[in-house]
Chains A and B, each alone.
Chain A
Amino acid sequence: MDANPEQTGGATEAVERVIRAIRERFPDAVMEETTLASGWKALVLSPKGLRDCIRLAKELGFRAFYDLTAADYWEIEPYFHVLYVLHSPDPPAKLVFQVRVPREDPVLPSIVDLFPGANWYEREVYDFYGIRFEGHPNLTRLIMPDEWIGHPLRKDYPLTEEPVQFKGHIPEKLPSEVIPKQYEPYPDRARDGDRSGGKG
């Protein structure tokens, strides 16, 4: 069927080509090259070289904007990980750029002028994480109300919840405390694993 190796091979080649070009043109920007657990290549970039790399990737065929999101690594390291996912229509391939932003003063350059579709995504990340995108035309809250205080998806923003009442009986534990967060009882695996990259 159409999962032919030719197509997948072409996709891998396209990704490799872009990564080679970025490494040649902007060797300082690339900090690390990893593979996500799902198999996509991810380049860990420095915030300064981010725009140049994205522009180059766009010129080299990754011209469809796909996703922009963030994750808060509080308690592990004082950084947000911001992910940019670009898509190449021909051959179909995905490329992930990953940037680490300090939690104290999170600022990134905006890419709205390169990809107009990034507009809402940057606003969403600003809304939920408080990461400011410099050069964004209208960096306001998108999903939360305008007067909202705080950025809800940060790990230090508490989850508001109330016990689930069942037939008049109110349990002592909150829903998220019924099974508390815990690490696997193997000491080597629990705390020292490779947290930044994928499995590889």
Chain B
Amino acid sequence: MSRERVTRAGEQKRLEERIRHTSREELDLQRVGVDQETGRETMLLNMGPQHPSTHGVLRLVIELDGEMIVSCKPVIGYLHTGIEKECEYRTYHQVVPLIDRQDYLSPLNEEMGYVLAVEKLLGIEPPKRAQYIRVMCAELSRIASHLVWLGTSALELNVSSVFMYCFQDRERVLDLFEMVSGARMFPRYFRIGGVMRDLPRRGFVESVRTFLKDLRRNLQKYHGLLTNNPIWKMRNVGIARITAEQCYAYGVTGPILRATGVAYDVRKAFPYSSYQDFEFEIPTQTAGDAYARYLVRMAEMEQSARIVEQVLERLPDGPIVVEDPKIRKPHPHRGLFVPPGKSYVTVESPRGEKGYFVASDGSNKPLRVRMRSPSFAHVQALPLLIEEAYLADCVVAIASIDPVLGDVDR
């Protein structure tokens, strides 16, 4: 069995070889076939781009020896929409709706990164109330995104009831977004300098509280359905392992890194938008396999619920957008002028560390908007997770890194 580890030294050597293997050679089509010397026969399998388990349009070219994956080459670009190019032709405020559309499962975390980057260029800080509202929305967005991950990864192992429950819960988060911004999926709620409008006066806080209460109860239900379920454990424990050093080499962050025992979270390491005001923990696991990632994400949802509760308790009164009329209400035919410079901001998105690089040349349109997406790095590291594993575990591996292809291809 390839999953067993013989010695630590041997493991280290194997690890180094694998890092080199995936970085130096791409999949060689000439190699596929019968090897005359060893008699080993391999075949080529295209998984995707329309495979239901690839969470979008990811194509994996897999070389198989029996049921064992010998090598794998992810092919991306099927969902490329040219958002980065488009951003250069829009004013700073017009970019926000485009930002929503790359990582469509957690739009508010994405908006957070972009507006922070532009605010850094302008040298402004939004009022405290706006920062707190942003934190609450980002955490609700994280819960919604993790619920989609939990539902789909369970569905892939044929646990369709969990899928239904999760989408039911997620729908309630989307209803909350509809209450604050008017849109469910693409709220475009954050503005440069604050948020679009204040929270609804009636019913919103109560709805959030009720949702959190139900979420806590439902999370217990999901734990009861999955955590100690022997089939779930059989399919997840020890599958798709990755070590912390491999994560560093490939730029892997977020729950995958935290599942290898590294307590790195941007919200703690480089706090933004007043995250330092709230108490929460960074859940970690040490195994680095799919099951550890499952436990980390489940714990993260609880922590997010904790943060949202603290926001509701401490939400200060005051303005929701900066005073400066040029920023608050930009000229309809000119937009907002941003001083020249470069700004790079990272935020903790549900998938990992998301970076926004905004360069300005002093005009009303950005010179460059770059989104450093965590899914891109994770899909690149996917061969590390699934090579020398069984084909059936490939589905588990993809689900456990939770890629969003809109985010990969942009």
Contacts and interface: CB of A to CB of B under 8 A. Distances in A.
A115 B335 contact: no
A82 to B, nearest CB: 11
B184 to A, nearest CB: 23
Nearest to A190: B362
Interface stretch (A23-31, A70-78, A99-107, A163-171): A70-78
Interface in A49-74: 63-67, 69, 71-73
Nearest to B245: A63
A1 interface: yes
A115 B249 CA distance: 6
A156 B346 CA distance: 29
B25 A137 contact: yes
Given A65-B248, A120-B380, A198-B342, A179 B364 contact: yes
Q: Is the interface of A mostly helix, strand, loop or mixed?
A: loop
A42 B22 CA distance: 30
B362 A184 contact: yes
B344 A40 contact: yes
A51 to B, nearest CB: 16
B156 interface: no
Interface in A130-162: 137-138, 142-145, 152-153, 155, 159, 161
B276 A72 contact: no
B380 A119 contact: yes
B interface, how many residues as a size bin? Answer: 35 or more
Nearest to B342: A36
A11 to B, nearest CB: 8
B80 A67 contact: no
Contact of A117 (B249, B276, B355, B370): B249
A75 B120 CA distance: 25
A76 B372 contact: no
B361 interface: yes
Q: Is the interface of B mostly helix, strand, loop or mixed?
A: mixed
B362 A189 contact: yes
Contacts of B316: none
Interface in A186-200: 189-191, 193-195, 197-199
Contacts of B353: 66
Contacts of B243: none
A179 B334 contact: yes
A38 B248 contact: no
A interface, how many residues as a size bin? Answer: 35 or more
Interface string B359-383: 1011111011010100011001100
Given A3-B271, A143-B76, A159-B85, A66 B380 contact: no
B374 to A, nearest CB: 11
B23 A182 contact: no
Contacts of B262: 89
A184 B381 CA distance: 44
A116 B23 contact: yes
B342 A197 contact: yes
Interface string B262-298: 1010001111000111110000000000000000000
A92 interface: yes
Contact of B343 (A36, A115, A142, A145): A36
Contact of B279 (A1, A63, A183): A1
A65 B380 CA distance: 13
A193 B368 contact: no
Interface stretch (B35-43, B86-94, B219-227): B86-94
28 contacts: A2-B271, A3-B275, A36-B344, A37-B120, A39-B120, A65-B249, A65-B250, A83-B344, A87-B251, A96-B344, A112-B23, A116-B19, A116-B22, A116-B250, A117-B250, A117-B251, A119-B23, A119-B380, A143-B77, A153-B84, A176-B90, A179-B335, A183-B364, A184-B364, A195-B340, A197-B342, A198-B342, A199-B123
Given A73-B361, A159-B89, 17 more contacts: A63-B248, A64-B249, A66-B251, A67-B251, A89-B262, A113-B23, A116-B20, A116-B249, A116-B250, A142-B76, A142-B77, A143-B409, A179-B91, A181-B363, A182-B363, A182-B364, A193-B362
Interface of B: 19-20, 22-26, 76-77, 80, 82, 84-86, 88-91, 94, 117, 120-121, 123, 244, 247-252, 262, 264, 268-271, 275-279, 333-335, 337, 339-346, 353, 355, 357, 359, 361-365, 367-368, 370, 372, 376-377, 380-381, 409-410
6 tightest A-B CB contacts, nearest first: A116-B23, A3-B276, A64-B248, A176-B89, A92-B269, A117-B250
